[in-house]
Structure 1
């Protein structure tokens, strides 16, 4: 592709770079396998350059990818979202290209999983029902997968399932253990490589921010509504996405193992039989929400997200009422992230 990448490592305050010698080791370890150009040392980045990046490019300690055109003009202040979603197909990483790519997309399983996993990709055919599910409660996962398998067998449909973990990186070790148990107990397919789970959730977040930056955070954007459901339900606990081939049938959460008959009726609707309509499913799902007493939806934006990427208002995708804004504090229990030296995202 006709572009080059230059990595600009930032340590702020730079005095810490000399105070903590292991930061130099970390920098060298990160730089060594990189195939692109890098600045030789964080010490070469002067303070006024860092201030410019923060003010002009909204850099806030999270990686960004600023794109400059051949004339040195800013084509994009952060093309990372486009890269995570479409890879090099997003070239030349402009807003026009981003809008063009979104016009081609609909809310399908192909968009959600893309080329992350060839196993799931090979499942996608019109005869297969596919569950993607997540959460951090192994008992819930056991009940859900067993109930789903039993219901699929009774309904005479072919069902595949894949566990995709959880968005919260502070649960990393817990999710790794759950993923191992899912595979060991043959509950379903699950990624053995943690990087795949990270990439799955990074792509979903990228879709969210890409849509917000393009002003597509409204209630009429089907892709936006689906992404918000997955990210919100992930905060509430166990959740599942059901598709028939590439077509997403439903995304739901909560007491799924107790109401798995809903899926049975939905499968039969798609067969179709017994006249169970989508409106009937929606009514049943509303009753489930009331019975469980859970809030319709919950949403968090990371504090490093610049204000332009956080919408002024959002409507709940369950009840369609305006949502309230809150500020929350999250505790990180990942020991690898607690060390002083790990506070710098080069």
Structure 2
């Protein structure tokens, strides 16, 4: 240490934004989970730097305890050598980066810092011992110490007691600050590890830890030579200390919130407001709840003694909210709302305009802003209620009890518009019973019939080929004349279609009085497809596959029509258990054109459905080339390849993951809930193939990730 040596000007990066430096620092971090007893090492270092064998230097309680660490000699010696090189005038930033990149890359952040502090303690301890043995006031100083000081060019400082005292004073204060930073970093690294997955800004916490470790190492390297800049270093360390203290205080608070919820939910209360007040604290003195579409403020007390239904979701839920708002409106008009619905938005990134747009759709209670939902609360949602990104419904009863918890899949799949009267184990009973997909399950709350009249056959159909639609509706009118059966036609739009796209179809249906159509704004089409997706994905999660379950097979067949430009049709009857008849437009037209060969004038609607099913199956067996592809939701778990078979020919399906999305529209228009353009390439990425796929499957503009298509279905049928 040579305080007489002229020091270089203070580096600019001590005063400037250090984001570029920290980005490089993060790139050096390659931990391999090796264990280091950082608390044991820190306790030894604290005693050295405190000049006191018995001092604990406020050492935090650790979680390791492996005895003397394996890094004590080798790594500490390497770091000490690099620090000694700095004393020869090398650039401190370069030395710091060399340590982080070549000597310490595989250690955790707290281990990197403690090892560096230990290395500094070795150098500092040697200097301290040298001053004690040299002792300039002693007329007979230790000759070994005197000669070592001479070799190290420290004789001047050893002879100047006032300079030595000043130097020790300044360095001691800086060392105390570094030790405090190290202590905070040890505690923060321990506490934050379990929060990185749920913290609102996990990257920020990790970056702050890296920033603190870098600057602490930098300061330790420069203490010995930058004596004229010790005040600058002290300021830097002080800012790091404040940063870590704030992070530590925040994490401790989140842990307390998390533990409070555990305790509250394990205690029977007279009302649920104690829980809700922890979940939704006051927001700047304002009540935490508002009525979404009116922004009327609501106090937590308004929920006292009420059945509360928590709707917990991400902000990526525009279609769900639109559909749910329609259902809520219907229930409210019928006087069936028995729960106070509260939307709880959980988001890492918040787009204010999008959030406000979602909130404006809701006639129920909403949390004022996602920032109110603390990380400790989100952790509870995830660990106890299994919340991920999939929307869940949590009934909270007046006494604070919660059971059961439903995914919103249940609402769409069951067709029941609230959780009132639902049974926890009855969600997917229809899958287990496996009687096949009935029309009641699919549309009973989407389409009503006159109960005073005989139940008609209902024909659902879709696609965007206006020529096929005209041929199909003409054939249906002919069938009605031949069979004298009552048939209702319902056109089903794509779930995310733009109404303008189908305007010609809607005008055609209206002009020729061909029944009704479900447009996007009414949400019936979205609920129809969402119900199918929910049944299918939930069945897969429960290990129920189309290969062994008729209901799943029927659902898969209908899902294969989703987004098809070509036509499709499905026939059924409400109030019966008859299996639906369904097929692509080509097959349906072929079967209907041959009705004279299979229709029995004595037959009724039951005969028509049974025979239509048989004729469709016969057509598929005779010409097994009408195979399908299915686009699965992104939240579906990995599926065993052998369990996914074509719902038409039963051959094993091949999986393709070539998905392309353009998010530019979101970023340039500011419409953050705009759907991306998605192109599913089923064969290759060449333009001609993509154009063909775009014509054949235009519903791939959904946010669905996995595309499953049949393998070589042109071979022999292998039922």
For the criterion TM > 0.5, the same-fold answer is yes
TM-score range, shorter chain: 0.7 to 0.9
What is the CA-CA distance between 1:232 and the residue it aligns to?
0.6
What is the CA-CA distance between 1:279 and the residue it aligns to?
5.0
1:229-240 aligned at under 5 Å gives the runs 229-236=557-564, 237-240=566-569
1:9 to 331, 345, 355: 345
What is the CA-CA distance between 1:341 and the residue it aligns to?
3.6
Distance change (3 Å), C-alpha of 1:13 and 1:337: closer
Q: Which has the larger radius of gyration?
A: 2
Is the 8 Å Cα contact of residues 307 and 395 (structure 2) preserved in structure 1?
Answer: no
Gaps of 5+ in 2: 1-305, 311-341, 676-719
The answer to whether residue 536 in structure 2 is matched with residue 208 in structure 1 is: yes
SS of match in other structure, 1:224: helix
Structure showing greater relative contact order (alpha-carbon pairs closer than 8 Å, 6 or more residues apart): 1
What is the CA-CA distance between 1:230 and the residue it aligns to?
0.7
1:22-37 aligned at under 5 Å gives the runs 23=352, 25-32=353-360, 34-37=362-365
Deviation readout 1:91-116 (Å, 9 max, x if unpaired):
57675231446567852211111111
Match of 1:59 in 2: 388
Is the 8 Å Cα contact of residues 262 and 281 (structure 1) preserved in structure 2?
Answer: no
Match of 1:147 in 2: 475
The answer to whether residue 672 in structure 2 is matched with residue 342 in structure 1 is: yes
The answer to whether residue 285 in structure 2 is matched with residue 285 in structure 1 is: no
What is the CA-CA distance between 1:259 and the residue it aligns to?
4.2
Distance change (3 Å), C-alpha of 1:232 and 1:337: farther
| TM value normalised by structure 1 | 0.74
2:427 to 98, 103, 106: 98
What is the CA-CA distance between 1:319 and the residue it aligns to?
1.5
Is the 8 Å Cα contact of residues 539 and 545 (structure 2) preserved in structure 1?
Answer: yes
The answer to whether residue 533 in structure 2 is matched with residue 228 in structure 1 is: no
Is the 8 Å Cα contact of residues 155 and 264 (structure 1) preserved in structure 2?
Answer: no
The answer to whether residue 499 in structure 2 is matched with residue 185 in structure 1 is: no
Is the 8 Å Cα contact of residues 415 and 441 (structure 2) preserved in structure 1?
Answer: no
Distance change (3 Å), C-alpha of 1:297 and 1:248: same
Rounded Cα–Cα distance in structure 1 between residues aligned with 2:510 and 2:416: 30
The count of residues paired between Structure 1 and Structure 2 equals 324
Match of 1:20 in 2: none
Rounded Cα–Cα distance in structure 1 between residues aligned with 2:645 and 2:479: 34
Distance change (3 Å), C-alpha of 1:325 and 1:86: same
What is the CA-CA distance between 1:188 and the residue it aligns to?
3.0
SS of match in other structure, 1:342: coil
Match of 1:112 in 2: 442
Rounded Cα–Cα distance in structure 2 between residues aligned with 1:111 and 1:337: 40
Match of 1:257 in 2: 589
Rounded Cα–Cα distance in structure 2 between residues aligned with 1:113 and 1:124: 19
Is the 8 Å Cα contact of residues 540 and 636 (structure 2) preserved in structure 1?
Answer: no
Is the 8 Å Cα contact of residues 569 and 585 (structure 2) preserved in structure 1?
Answer: no
Deviates more, 1:86-95 or 1:135-144: 86-95
1:317 to 647, 653, 659: 647
Is the 8 Å Cα contact of residues 344 and 367 (structure 2) preserved in structure 1?
Answer: yes
Aligned-residue CA RMSD (Å): 4.0
SS of match in other structure, 1:166: coil
| TM value normalised by structure 2 | 0.39
Rounded Cα–Cα distance in structure 2 between residues aligned with 1:337 and 1:177: 31
